[in-house]
Amino acid sequence: MGKIEAAFHKRLKECPDQTVRLLVRVTGDISQATTRLTELGATVLRSFTLTDTVAVTCSGSTAAALLQEPWVQAIEEDRQVFTQSNGAENQGSSQGGKHDRNQDRVCTG
């Protein structure tokens, strides 16, 4: 697998001005990576030491540019997650779960 999922990469290229939430997996020193991400125009939200990952927001074009950085191991969208309870009203029927609004996003840039 490459650094990024093909469909997400396509969306970044199609929407270079749209702000995206990313999870950037890095190699090497995570504090240096955090500094570098800021220099490249990303806003760092959190960094994670268990998996050497940094959560950021940035434009689609910045996200695409990050792929060129050798210390960037992988980029993925910071996707939404949901509680997995149905409520009694959905008992016994397939509710189809809740929906990630990111999937509906259209390019506005």
And the tokens for 54? 């940094």
DSSP element (H, E) containing 46: strand 43-48
DSSP element (H, E) containing 22: strand 19-26
Tell me which of 32, 35, 43, 95 binds another protein, using CB under 8 A. 95
Q: What amino acid occupies position 71?
A: W
Shortest Cβ distance from residue 51 to another protein (Å)? 5
Residue number, 51 or 68, with CB nearest to another protein = 51
Q: How many residues of this chain interact with another protein, rule: CB under 8 A?
A: 37
Q: Are 63 and 107 in contact (CB under 8 A)?
A: no
Q: Does 19 bind another protein (CB under 8 A)?
A: no
Chain contacts with another protein (rule: CB under 8 A)? 1, 21, 23, 25, 45-46, 48-51, 53, 55, 76, 78-100, 103
